[in-house]
């Protein structure tokens, strides 16, 4: 099936309240343009340099989401245009995003990444670290970032009940923080689910899915 057909099929079965991020990392611009021509406007990339090259070359009504792990010294390259940063998991990184947002006279939306998987290697905060970050004085003074939700990745496994357990954990953390209302932190987005597990993620309350290989093919 073509990229267009894949997109139409996935979109036709997504509930209206669920946003699709087309994960286009490693794919050539011609593939992204095929998705663009099928009306896709939100693309997810995991390397800042690659995303910036694509941003420069492609139509300007695209919303670029950074979904990968971020090196602090590279934030400046995406600060002028990035639309949502999914993988924020430290105060230090938030400080840099805030600083670069100020320089660009923007407010940058971010999701805090929560560690829900069993694997040690996956990035993210636990619930205690999340509370600590939101309660910190330094966070409260960050005028140019806005935490708009949470993001997480389940363990890479075929065990559906384990994946479900992890998604439900993230949903429960999300629900327990939804009432927080400080100027720069109001949670409305729950980013969870990829090609292999997005249907389960939606059942568990996801409002944003990040789908790559089911649209663009394997990498």
Ligand X SMILES: *Cc1c(COP(=O)(O)O)cnc(C)c1O
Residue 133 is a binding residue for ligand X (CB under 6 A): no
Query: From the CB of 24, what's the least distance to ligand X, in Å?
Result: 9
Nearer to ligand X by C-beta: 21 or 173?
21
Residue 46 is a binding residue for ligand X (CB under 6 A): yes
Does the CA dihedral 70-121-162-128 come out positive or negative?
negative
Interacting residue with ligand X among 22, 23, 173, 202 (CB under 6 A): 23
Query: Which residues, numbered 176-195, are part of the site for ligand X (CB under 6 A)?
Result: 194-195
Question: Applying CB under 6 A, what is the total number of residues that bind ligand X?
Answer: 14
Residue 211 is a binding residue for ligand X (CB under 6 A): yes
Residue 213 is a binding residue for ligand X (CB under 6 A): yes
CB atoms within 10 A of CB 99: 17
- DSSP E strands in the chain: the ranges are 19-23, 42-45, 63-66, 84-88, 108-114, 145-152, 185-191, 208-211
Query: From the CB of 56, what's the least distance to ligand X, in Å?
Result: 22
Nearer to ligand X by C-beta: 53 or 135?
53
Give the separation between CA 32 and CA 39, rounded to whole angstroms. 11
CA-nearest of 126, 100, 101, 96 to 113 is 126
Binding region for ligand X (CB under 6 A): 23, 25, 46, 67-68, 153, 194-196, 210-214
């Amino acid at each position: 099936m073509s990229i267009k057909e894949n997109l139409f099929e996935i979109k036709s079965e997504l509930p209206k309240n669920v946003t699709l991020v087309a994960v286009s990392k490693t794919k050539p611009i011609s593939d992204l343009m095929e998705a663009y021509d099928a009306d896709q406007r939100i693309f997810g990339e995991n390397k800042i340099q690659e995303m910036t090259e694509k941003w420069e070359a492609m139509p300007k009504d695209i919303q670029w989401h950074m979904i990968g792990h971020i090196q602090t010294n590279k934030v400046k390259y995406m600060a002028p245009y990035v639309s949502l940063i999914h993988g924020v998991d430290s105060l230090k990184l938030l400080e840099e995003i805030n600083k670069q947002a100020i320089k660009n006279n923007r407010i940058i939306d971010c999701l805090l990444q929560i560690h829900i998987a069993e694997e040690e290697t996956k990035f993210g905060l636990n619930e205690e670290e999340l509370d600590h970050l939101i309660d910190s004085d330094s966070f409260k003074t960050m005028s140019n970032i806005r935490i708009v939700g949470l993001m997480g990745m389940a363990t890479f496994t075929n065990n559906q009940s384990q994946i479900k357990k992890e998604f439900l954990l993230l949903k429960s953390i999300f629900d327990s923080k939804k009432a927080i209302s400080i100027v720069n932190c109001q949670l409305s987005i729950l980013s969870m689910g990829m090609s292999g597990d997005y249907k389960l993620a939606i059942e568990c309350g996801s409002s944003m899915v990040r789908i790559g290989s089911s649209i663009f093919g394997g990498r």
